[in-house]
Amino acid sequence: MLRFEDPSYLWLLWLIPVLVLVRLVGWRRRKAKLKRLGDPELLKQLMPNISKYRPTVKFVLMLAALALLIVMVARPQMGSKISHDKRHGIETIICLDISNSMLAQDVAPSRLDKSKMLIENLVDNFNNDKIGLIVFAGDAYVQLPITSDYVSAKMFLQNINPSLIQTQGTNIGEAIALASKSFSQQENVGRAIIVITDGENHEEGAQEAAAAANKQGVNVFILGIGNPQGAPIPMGDGSYLKDHSGNTVMTALNEQMCRELAQAGKGEYIHVDNTSDAERKLNDDITKLQKGDVTSVVYSAYDEQFQAVGILVILLLIIEICINEIKNPLLKNIKLFNKIGVKK
């Protein structure tokens, strides 16, 4: 498989047709000037050493060398190298609530943004572990399959917002059930599901899903974010969400439900506030999990091919230098660039 490490340089190949156009314009102007000087056949006899085709051949060689030089700068690579890297770690899948209530600002800067910051810090503390990401509201979807690519995890995390799921609600049970199916098939590896939610308006079946996950050897941690006293949900226009009666909707953290879920999943309930206490406690709990050999498929760098392209560039330049625009008196009888059957 052919690929380029820096494909943006390939845009420079547009210089080739531009140079061809400039060459054609120059050739037409030169031809017009020669016609004004006199009869073309007479001028041809007066300049017997001028070759008609050599300049064009030299120009084509230079264009080819330039095109290959651009390709070389783009670093062409061929093939791929796949290795299976064994690491000693755990597998963690994070279920993040992205319902509208997570926009409340009782935790700065908001419940959702605080959750994303917490996840990012958690990823920074991972070393040989795998992470997956599930988002949920009324439905649940896999945002990032379980991986050891922490850069991709942070990239996917930044793009999360409530608009990803149109169905509103807090279907924690579906999120936990989906997370339970998203782990790898490796054995003897500590596994954890981390649910970050305010627990409001949750659907039925959450405790059953947490208990079922624990039977599979998965610990379920619940991170409750928000204020139990409640907070309004800001809208994009600066106002707050209101119900059908025109009253401001207040969203409150359901701590009792969060504790019951953590108990069913044999994990811990951790309250997330404006401090970093939740992060420290979660890191401590995660490190207690059994670490096993986690196998990751690593795609190594492709084999560089720019050396071969560079050799072709050098050969083309050598040929171009060896060709004179005028005929060599010593080689004037060798007519490589004359049409067959046409006499000088």
Least confident of 15-29, 132-146, 171-185, 287-301: 287-301
The pLDDT tens digits of the residues spanning 118-163 come to 999 999 888 888 999 999 998 999 999 998 888 888 888 988 999 8
236 and 314 share one domain: no
113 and 183 share one domain: yes
11 and 121 share one domain: no
167 and 89 share one domain: yes
Q: How many domains does the chain have?
A: 2
147 and 17 share one domain: no
- 61 domain-assigned: yes
The pLDDT tens digits of the residues spanning 25-71 come to 888 887 777 677 666 666 666 666 666 777 888 889 889 999 999 98
176 and 27 share one domain: no
Question: Burial letters for 64-101: b for 16+ Cβ neighbours within 10 Å, e otherwise?
Answer: bbbbbbbbbbbbbbeeeeeeeeeeebbbbbbbbbbbbb
114 and 220 share one domain: yes
- 339 domain-assigned: no
Structural domain that includes position 63: 2-79+303-331
288 and 308 share one domain: no
What whole-number distance in Å separates Cα of residue 48 and Cα of residue 45?
5
- 341 domain-assigned: no
- 174 domain-assigned: yes
130 and 278 share one domain: yes
Domain of residue 272, CATH code: 3.40.50.410
Least confident of 52-56, 57-61, 102-106, 270-274: 52-56
- 343 domain-assigned: no
Taking the complete model, does pTM exceed 0.95, yes or no?
A: no
51 and 177 share one domain: no
- 337 domain-assigned: no
Task: Provide DSSP, 96-165.
Answer: EE-SGGGG--SSSS-HHHHHHHHHHHHHHH-SS-EEEEEEESSSEEEEEEEES-HHHHHHHHHT--GGG-
What whole-number distance in Å separates Cα of residue 168 and Cα of residue 255?
20
Helix (H, G, I), strand (E, B) or coil at 248: strand
266 and 161 share one domain: yes
147 and 251 share one domain: yes
